Structure 1
Amino acid sequence: MMEIIEAASILKLPEWWICAGFVRSKIWDTLHGFTERTSTPDIDVIYFDDTHIDEAFEKKLEDKLSSLLPNIPWSVKNEARMHMVNNLQPYTSAEDAISKFPETATALGVKLDRENNLVLTAPYGLDDVINMELKPTPYFTETKERAAIYEERITKKNWKDIWYKIKVHHI
């Protein structure tokens, strides 16, 4: 994991984080006693730069990361433009975007600070991920449409089949 975090730090992106399943899955793997890490479909690197919202630039960043670690499925997204993709109100920062992820246990991010210290953001704390509880973030309980997205993700992701100890909360 540190090799991946260090590679992402080389980009020196504003307000960057590696987030979501990269963090959650490692915690759940450990709590389940797995000796091998479960595979993740991608490594989500997010950042916030409202002065440069070109999607093609994100692809160049993915290419740069792939040149460093070619076997990693990189996904780089500028959260300053993702509200347009997701048809939402603009995010104010990368951490604001993380706080609007569907599940509290997924609303996590890690990065290295300027002194190379590992930093964690967890807008809803760590209790849910450590207690293996899958709950919607408050943002996904505000409307029926968002609640439906949360419920669809539970079905589509099928996390319970991978991590059998998790407790899934429905809206």
Structure 2
Amino acid sequence: MTNPDSTDITESEARLAVSRMLTEDLYRMQCLTALKALNLPQGYLAAGFLRNAIWDELHGYKKATPLNDIDVIYFNPSDTSKDTELNIERALTSQVPSAHWQVKNQARMHLNHGHNVYKDCEEAISYWVEKETCVAIRLCPNEGNDTFDILAPYGLSSNFAGTISINPRHPRDDVFTQRVKAKNWLVTWPQLTLGSALIRSI
């Protein structure tokens, strides 16, 4: 999918493309399988896990860009202990020791931003800094290891368009600018463009 007509890709086409990409990525499949084994409530691999895979695909990279960490999200309002998150990290590390797991229960993350309580993982990630980062994926709990469940509150079109856009629902211009610079995205993926997403409403 190098240099695709990505602005015209439909949501269903984008999801099919993601399924193919992930199925062909042995490391990501290993991580997804490890997460599935824990059967966490609304357990997903989020943010760069999927976002970066799409950007690699757009650039035609034959080797995946290394992941600094793997963000695991889940939703359990009955146990918001950070110790539980650490225990989950240890369980995942025992399965995939090469991964740097970072686990966060989204049932407590509203406190970080002074928001009302989130109702589920999809609402929680809908507040993340960039639209393209508001994505998560898992293997469907009651299916084989070739069926994916994707959360994308803003869809996947901007990911496949190769843009980096401020989240219109919760815009934080200064944080956005700092993250783009610190994470070096435009160097790692030079075909990306900054989206014109300074929109205050959706």
TM-score, normalised relative to structure 1:
0.92
The answer for the alignment partner of 1:106 in structure 2 is 133
The answer for the alignment partner of 1:147 in structure 2 is 173
Q: Say whether the 8 Å CA contact 1:102–1:139 is kept in structure 2.
A: no
The answer for the alignment partner of 2:193 in structure 1 is 167
Secondary structure at 1:139 match in 2: coil
Alignment counterpart, residue 47 of structure 1, candidates 54, 74, 81: 74
Alignment counterpart, residue 159 of structure 2, candidates 129, 132, 141: 129
The answer for the alignment partner of 1:115 in structure 2 is 143
Q: Does 1:62 align with 2:89?
A: yes
Alignment counterpart, residue 35 of structure 1, candidates 62, 66, 69: 62
Number of aligned residue pairs: 167
Instruction: After TM superposition, give the deviation of residue 87 of structure 1 in Å.
Output: 4.1
Deviations 1:95-139 (A, max 9, x none): 111111111111111111221321112111111100101111122
Identity of aligned residues (%): 34
Q: Return the letter of the residue paired with 1:53.
A: T
Gaps of at least 5 residues in structure 1 are none
Q: Does 1:89 align with 2:116?
A: yes
Bigger drift between 131-140 and 80-89 goes to: 80-89
Deviations 1:20-58 (A, max 9, x none): 000010111111011111112110110011010000000
Q: CA RMSD in A?
A: 1.4
Q: Say whether the 8 Å CA contact 1:45–1:76 is kept in structure 2.
A: yes
Q: Return the letter of the residue paired with 2:121.
A: A
Secondary structure at 1:138 match in 2: coil
Q: Does 1:138 align with 2:165?
A: no
Tell me the distance in 2 between the aligned counterparts of 1:88 and 1:149.
17
Alignment counterpart, residue 182 of structure 2, candidates 135, 152, 156: 156
Secondary structure at 1:140 match in 2: coil
